[in-house]
Amino acid sequence: MLQLLSKSDYPMSILTIFNIKMWYLVGSQPDFKACPVCGKTGIYFSVASGGMLCKAHHNAASVGAELSKLIKLIYLIKLDKIDEELLKFINQYYAELLPIIKDYYQTYFDYTNRYLKIIEMMLD
């Protein structure tokens, strides 16, 4: 991760990847396969449900389908597959991903990340 950071023009994208990848390392594994309510294929990421909700069970708190795909991609991708093209793409969405990441940490780890708060204030 540090190699990526030193070589990339997209440090916020790397920060986003790091924060989502940390979910696994600190013991949380969102279910990206099946809706926790009915078992159908999940489409919409939900912090509250701990994974992806299907079309029938998503709600106002769910993340949109495209952003949900990106969260899933970031969580599952191997570090050696990350390239500048992907970092550039993620860079377009990090402002939208930041509150989701922050909410996830608060919900599952009862942890408030100060630097995420600072970055969020800078974006306002």
Model confidence at 11, in pLDDT bands (50, 70, 90)?
confident
For residue 49, what are the CA distances in angstroms to 5, 6, 14, 38, 116?
32, 35, 26, 12, 22
**Whole-structure pTM value:** 0.85
CA separation for the pair 107, 46 (Å, rounded): 11
**Angle CA(80)–CA(89)–CA(3) in degrees, nearest 5?**
35
- 67 or 118: which carries more pLDDT confidence? 67
Query: What's the pLDDT score for residue 4?
Result: 65
C-alpha span between 31 and 51 (Å, rounded) = 4
Contact predicate 43/55, CB 8 Å: yes
pLDDT digits (tens, 9 = 90+) for 59-105: 999 999 999 999 999 999 999 999 999 999 999 998 999 999 988 98
Please give the C-alpha separations between residue 117 and each of 50, 56, 72, 77, in angstroms, as whole numbers: 22, 33, 23, 26
Residue bearing tokens 């390392």: 25
Residue 34 main-chain phi, psi, to 5 deg: -125, 145
Q: What is the DSSP letter of 9?
A: S
